[in-house]
A and B are shown apart, each in its own frame.
Chain A
Amino acid sequence: MSWQAFPWFAGAAVLCWGLGFGSTWLFRKRTTMAPLSLGLFLAGSLVVAGFIVLLWLSLERPPLRTVGETRLWYAALLPWVGIYALLRWKLRWLLYFCLSMATLFLWIVVSHPEAYDKTLMPALQSLWFVPHVVVYMVGYALMAAAALVAIHGLWPAHSASLVTQDSQVADQLVQVGFAFISIGILFGAFWAKTAWGHYWTWDPKETWAFLTWSVYLIYIHFRVRHPEQHRVGHWFLVIAFITLLICWLGLEYLPSAQFSTHTYSG
């Protein structure tokens, strides 16, 4: 079992997910998801998980050492978050979202074969690496969804009841997303202590992670006190998401970031 077989596994997984999604249209009259659809979603997710297991056995070590291997974990873990969200809270959109992100990562892995053996530097060889990044991926996905809902709620043509509904959905997304980015920031701090000796150094990446966390924290409290102020809440979420994007992708453009130790990530 080697990386050569991976495109087949990836294709099979995406096929299962695609069929599962298509089958939900067949069963669109149902209120709960049909077992066939859920089965297809599960099957696709198991295919990716199965590849990791087989790769692990053939390498005789945990596949956590190369760039390609870590990206594979993102693609493997995201579907399970979505499946959990579906079973626990009946949130279909989150499942579709997670599966879309997983598909994206599978595509990234397949199209970057040079990363399969590209090795991770010693600082990244830690059991904290994958949990820290995956938890953040899920959190970011949820916040992206919340921002989309907020933009939807800001659309001038939309009715008041739609705007209200958007607020409620956005709130739910942010509640779950905030838990994830909180856990992500904590994992980062615990990892930093074992790697660098300090759990927090106000490194630009850390500072912006704090800023992102803090803006969503303010949003949550604003919504507690002003649940009727939908438009302000929606604008807040857009600003919060911009902060998130700066933290995730925009650091290299900031003057402060030339001195960051996080420049290897991504």
Chain B
Amino acid sequence: MPDPRRTPAPVATPSAAPGFWQFPWGYGQALALASGMMTVGFLLEVMLHAHGAVPAPGWPVNGILLVVFTAGLILPATRLRTDPIIQWLSDVPMAIVATGLVTALALIGGIVPQTTPEQTGLLVKLGFNDVFHGWPFILSMLLFLSVLGLVVIKKIVRFQWKTLPSLLNHLGLWLAFAAAFFGSADMRTLTLQVREGNTVAHAVDQAQKFHELPFAVHLKEFNLEYYPLTLSVQAMSGEPSPDRSASPVLIQKEHTTELGNWMIEVLEYHPHSLWVGKTYEPVYTPGAFPAARIKARNRISGAETEGWISCGSATFPPRALDLVEARVQMDPPQPRTFQSQVTLLRPDGQTQDRSIEVNHPVSIAGWRLYQYAYDRNAGPWSTYSVFQAVQDPWLPAVYGGLLMLLAGALLRLVSGQKKNQDVRS
């Protein structure tokens, strides 16, 4: 009678090694999937001659796509939890490969200049000059969002309070990426240029096409303030004064400062002047620029030199005072703030007086207005201001995701150093 404890010896099979596609899957299969997707992606890129411009659907199509995509993740993740493919897709090797794929494409974008090139070579055909809008990147993001989405669902299903930071990190990242990815076509950036005294209610996009705006912008005044002007001494070779203990010298009338071996006295200072005849005359008029008459006395030799210095403007050359081995110059003025005083006309007919400057945009009618540019040649005399109007309807979703990421990161810091095992949750 055969011993029931002994299992019969297995019959030898011709191929003892498991096939590539035998479960469980791991890195190899993940790389195969990634390679396949990239082949398709680059083929699409080359064939469609898209030069990066993958058609991106706007609302409501992108919203529907996102819902379908999410449902397409929730159903397998919940109903097919034990399926080996679903398990592989939501496991670490796949996560590493999917992240690595996005990283590899971003690396191309970080090295190859992302601009329109003059010639079209192989790199351009493959879309390397606009990686982030090409088919390979789109596909890699879809893969990444799929894998991350399955992981998020897994974590929600197995939720425990102690793994909250991990869930926040993964869910926050998914939400931010999904909203940014699916909602990208709904973000609009328009430019509008307004002259002082004028009112404008339309703007142009990057293709120079006009768009009507649901509000109007009236520019009352554009202001540019420079930091107080300074002068400096440079050696004739162009290098700055070797006396580094001297901070930049403010130009103030009747002010005398020591600058290295020199005593510099400001005799006259005109913040606004023009070169008239043989000298600078104080004139407050568009195009005027600063000029100062200074006296420089060498502390060692006692030699004195007098003359004008000026930073000039876009149309007037600068002027420096030559000393024997050095030169005194007026340093180029540095913008301190530039802002636009505007009156905004809202759709309901109400007006609002606001000030728009860098780092302080203004919201109106679902758009945000940013101080973008001005007439750089005219500087403070610029008679127009350029704004950017940005509409970003998916922003709350993106920010919701980013704030979750922030919360997750902070919670991780606060809850302290835990063992590696906790990351596994």
Chain B residues closer than 8 Å to A89, beta-carbon distance = 416-417
Find out whether the CB atom of A254 lies under 8 angstroms from the CB atom of B102: no
Chain A interfacial residues counted at CB < 8 A: 57
B406-A121 in contact (CB<8A)? no
Segment with Cβ contacts to A, from B194-202, B211-219, B277-285, B353-361: B353-361
Most-contacted residue by chain B among A168, A171, A202, A255 (CB, 10 A): A202
Measured between alpha carbons, how far is A179 from B96 in the docked complex, in Å?
A: 19
Which residue, of A88, A114, A122, A180, has the highest number of chain B Cβ atoms within 10 A? A122
Supposing A88-B416, A119-B334, A255-B113 touch, asked if A200 and B410 sit within 8 A by C-beta, the answer is no
- For chain B, the count of residues having a C-beta within 8 Å of the partner chain is 56
Q: Does A218 contact B (CB under 8 A)?
A: yes
Alpha-carbon distance between A5 and B102 when the two chains are bound, in angstroms: 51
Contacts A117-B248, A218-B100 given; does A186 touch B405 at CB 8 Å = yes
Chain A residues with CB under 8 Å of B111's CB are: 254-256
- Interface segment, B266-274, B311-319, B335-343? B335-343
Contact with B along A101-134 (1 / 0, CB 8 A): 0000000000001101111011101100000000
- B103, B180, B335, B395 interface centre (most CB from chain A within 10 Å): B103
Interface mask (A165-209 → B, CB under 8 Å = 1, otherwise 0): 000100110011011101100100110011111111010100110
Chain A residues contacting B423 (CB-CB under 8 Å) are: 175, 220, 223-224
Say which residue of B93, B109, B359 sits within 8 Å of A256 (CB atoms). B109
Is B417 a contact of A176 with CB atoms below 8 Å? yes
Q: Judge whether B109 and A221 touch: CB under 8 Å.
A: no
Q: Is the CB of B103 within 8 A of A122?
A: no
Q: Mark A75-111, 1 if CB is under 8 A from B, else 0.
A: 0000000000000110000000000000000000000
Does the CB pair A122–B338 fall under 8 Å?
yes
B156 located at the interface, meaning its Cβ lies under 8 Å from any Cβ of chain A in the complex = no
- Inter-chain CA distance A224–B421, complex, in Å, is 7
4 cross-chain pairs, A with B, having the tightest CB-CB distances, nearest first:
A225-B92, A197-B390, A207-B110, A179-B409
Which residues of B pack against A, CB within 8 Å? 92-93, 95-96, 99-100, 102-103, 106-107, 109-115, 132, 180, 187, 189, 227, 230, 244-245, 247-248, 334-338, 357-361, 368, 370, 388, 390, 392, 395, 398, 402, 405-406, 409-410, 412-413, 416-417, 420, 423-424
Q: Offer 14 A-B interface pairs, CB within 8 angstroms, sorted by A.
A: A3-B247, A179-B409, A186-B402, A186-B406, A195-B359, A199-B395, A199-B398, A210-B106, A211-B103, A211-B106, A215-B103, A255-B113, A256-B113, A259-B113
